[in-house]
Amino acid sequence: MTDGGMSGGIGFAAALAAWDAAAPAPARACGLKVADLLRGFHPDHRPGGMVQLVAGPNEGAPCPAQLAALLQSDSLLEDVDLAGATILDADVLVLGGGGAGCVAALAAARAGARVLMATKLRMGDGNTVMAEGGIQAAIGAEDSLQRHFEDTLRAGHFAADKALVAALVGDGPDAIRWLVREGMSFDLADERQRMGGALLRKKPGGATAARLLSYRDFTGLELMRALREAVLLQPGISVLDGHPALELLTDDRGRCGGAALQDLGQRRLVLARAGATIMATGGAGRLHLAGFPTSNHYGATADGLVLAYRAGARLREMDSFQFHPTGIAWPPHLEGTLISEAARSAGARLVNGRGERFVEELAPRDVVASAMLRELAEGRGVGRDGKLGLFLDTPSLEREQPGILAQRLQTLSHLAHRAGFDPAREPFLVRPTLHYQNGGMAIDTDGRSALPGLLAAGEVTGGLHGRNRMMGNALLELVVFGRRAGASAAADARQERPRNLGLNHLAGWRRGLLAAGLGLEAKGPLLFPPYGNVTPQDLRRHAA
């Protein structure tokens, strides 16, 4: 994969010598205003990267070309495919089995709903389990909900929905208590003080207070372990692994009433009918927008966005993606894998091929990533075996805080071991990696979309992060809005049920595609990335 504008950089041996001679690296002034840095170097602003959507609820809005092609694709299904399909009924259908899906399923089941959870891979597989850094909640005495609210808005360039952000930060402390009740652990400032005492707090990039709570540097794994057991043991939830959604079902009044699922094991179609459907399908990193590697899990292919958009749900900020500053650039077999912001939070510096610091490491992620891309574009990167990156100076961090790599940055040390070097002696080679979809489905504070019967939670939603997400707000979002959407869905399912379910929205959708001159050849959703060596059409063929 290539992304244009990168020159060869400085050779690894020369760069290593420059780093070694200068460490700890002296800072070089940036010389550019933040707005100019973002405009010049953030991938969202790449010339020709965005196209205008010409069909659907967001007609006229900018969107990355690869995503637009999927959003404006035709269905994989025809009415005839539904005949004879297996039918399952539930009160609430949850699409997606990551963090948001699990929280939503638990909340709906505990509100009395019969819940069906359908997931493409396996319950628990998703980006949540891979989250490393932590979860934000304003619990410090010097901190406040108001500060968390304003920090989130500012980091998102004031593009977020204020009511959503207020709901997010306002539920924050209660979300932490909820997680502890589910059996999730958190790091303490003093491990002996389990009753009383204080949670360990770190400062996320762009924050005005130490607000990031964590469990070592695998917070998402700890969260997901507790949630997975909770879902498995919760009466009233049935889990269907290996059942990606191919289409939403709509009734003759345009209300969403479930989804058509492809049973990958039996190669058959299943119609899951429900009073309310919660979209919790996560993000789009595996589309490798702008040719970037990604830190996302295998299933992050924007399926939920495609289905919701086609059925009439409005999206927002679809032209805004987060590139995490520190993905691995070398060795190639770990390319794109994330090194947590916890490393920079702890004090690790970013250093270019000349041995210089070039950015305040804890500035917001979009600023740090843009500054890194600028170094690479202007020839100050480090080249190694054809890969280009910048140094993450772990040896200086270890010298300044002996033992930190082994005790607090275990995942990082484990990655270095797999890359074949000692992070206490040699710096990592890193570069920005496609990490998070800032925008998504527009929702209200109860998690409802504009399409009746369809709710959403987690990364698939938009409006919470504006145009740049703060570290630690993604895990918080999935808990807060998973709970809200689950409770709303259980309530909605008690209302009048959808009737005459089918693919009622497709006729109008296809008319729209043809009217826009797009044709019906392109099909979606994608389900698996191209290197999965299988298309949805392959999976539909040989159907029993």
Partner 1 sequence: MSETEPAGTPLRLVFDGHALQARPGVSLLQAWIAAGLPLTENVGCMGQGVCGACRVLVRRPGERIAGTALACEMPAEEGMQVSFIDHFPARRPHAYDLSALTDSWSIPDQIDAVFPEAKHCRHCSGCDRACPKGIPVQRMVNLAAEGQVFAAAELFDACVMCNLCVAACPEHIDPAHLGQFTRRMHAALTLRPADLMQRLRQIEAGEQPIDLDAPGASPPVQT
Regarding 51 and contact with partner 1 (CB under 8 A), the answer is no
Position 451 contacts partner 1 (CB under 8 A): no
User: Min. distance of Cβ 167 from partner 1 in angstroms?
Assistant: 9
- 486 in Cβ contact with 279 (< 8 Å): no
Nearer to partner 1, 149 or 358 (CB): 149
378 counts as binding partner 1 under rule CB under 8 A: no
Is 139 a residue that touches partner 1 (CB under 8 A)?
yes
CA 34, CA 32: separation in Å to the nearest integer? 6
Does 166 sit near partner 1 (CB under 8 A)? yes
365 is catalytic: yes
Interaction between residue 424 and partner 1 (CB under 8 A): no
Among 242, 347, 379, 502, binds partner 1 (CB under 8 A): 242
Neighbours of 410 (CB within 10 A): 13
Contact region with partner 1 (CB under 8 A), list: 18-26, 215-223, 433-441, 487-495: 215-223
CB of 532 to partner 1, least distance (A): 5
Alpha-carbon gap, residue 72 to 511, rounded angstroms: 12
The answer to whether 435 and 377 are in contact (CB under 8 A) is no
DSSP calls for 323-384 = EEEEEE-SSGGGTT-B--THHHHTTPEEE-TTS-B-S-TTS-HHHHHHHHHHHHHTT-SEEE
Rounded Cα distance between 15 and 127, Å, is 34
Residues 332-361 within binding reach of partner 1 (CB under 8 A): 332-334, 337-338
CA distance 63 to 314: 13
Of 140 and 502, the one with the shorter C-beta distance to partner 1 is 140
Min dist. Cβ of residue 132 to partner 1 (A): 9
Distance CA 474, CA 87 (A): 34
- Least distance to partner 1, CB of residue 420, Å: 4
Separation in Å, CA 456 to CA 30, 105, 211, 218, 484 = 40, 12, 26, 26, 10
531 in contact with partner 1 (CB under 8 A): yes
154 binds partner 1 (CB under 8 A): yes
Residues near partner 1 (CB under 8 A), total = 83
Q: Considering only 73-81, 168-176, 252-260, 398-406, which stretch makes contact with partner 1 by CB under 8 A? A: 168-176
Task: Give residues 266-295 in contact with partner 1 (rule: CB under 8 A).
Answer: none
Q: Does position 224 bind partner 1 by CB under 8 A?
A: yes
Binding segment toward partner 1, per CB under 8 A, in 36-44, 330-338, 437-445, 490-498: 330-338
CA 135/CA 487 separation, integer angstroms:
22
Pick from 49, 62, 140, 347 the residue near partner 1 by CB under 8 A.
140
Helix (H, G, I), strand (E, B) or coil at 59: coil
Q: Smallest distance from the beta carbon of 351 to partner 1, in angstroms?
A: 18
Q: Counting contacts by CB under 8 A, is residue 112 touching partner 1?
A: no
184 binds partner 1 (CB under 8 A): yes
Tokens 């891309």 correspond to 373
Strand 86-95 to 268-279 pairing = parallel
Give dist(CA 338, CA 320) in Å, integer: 20
**Separation of alpha carbons 339 and 132, rounded Å:** 8
Confirm or reject binding of residue 121 to partner 1 (CB under 8 A). yes
Nearer to partner 1, 277 or 301 (CB): 301
225 binds partner 1 (CB under 8 A): yes
CB 103 within 8 A of CB 74: no
The closest alpha carbon to 468, from 219, 205, 281, belongs to 205
100 binds partner 1 (CB under 8 A): no
- Residue choice 174, 399, 500, 508 for contact with partner 1 (CB under 8 A): 174
Binding mask 456-495 for partner 1 (x = CB under 8 A): ----------------------------------------
Structure tokens at 159: 């593009």
d(CA 5, CA 40): 12
Minimum distance of partner 1 from residue 199's CB (angstroms)? 5
- The alpha helices in 201-259, defined as continuous H runs, are 219-233
Q: How far is the CB of 111 from partner 1 (least distance, A)?
A: 15
Please tell me the number of Cα atoms within 13 Å of 188 on its side-chain side.
12
Query: Annotated catalytic residue: which of 316, 344, 365, 431?
Result: 365
Stretch that binds partner 1, among 82-90, 188-196, 275-283, 363-371 (CB under 8 A): 188-196
Query: Counting contacts by CB under 8 A, is residue 106 touching partner 1?
Result: no
* Contact between residue 227 and residue 160 where contact means Cβ atoms under 8 Å apart: no
Q: Is 27 in the site for partner 1 (CB under 8 A)?
A: no
Looking at the DSSP assignment, which residues form a beta bridge with residue 430?
Answer: 328, 390
Catalytic residue IDs:
365
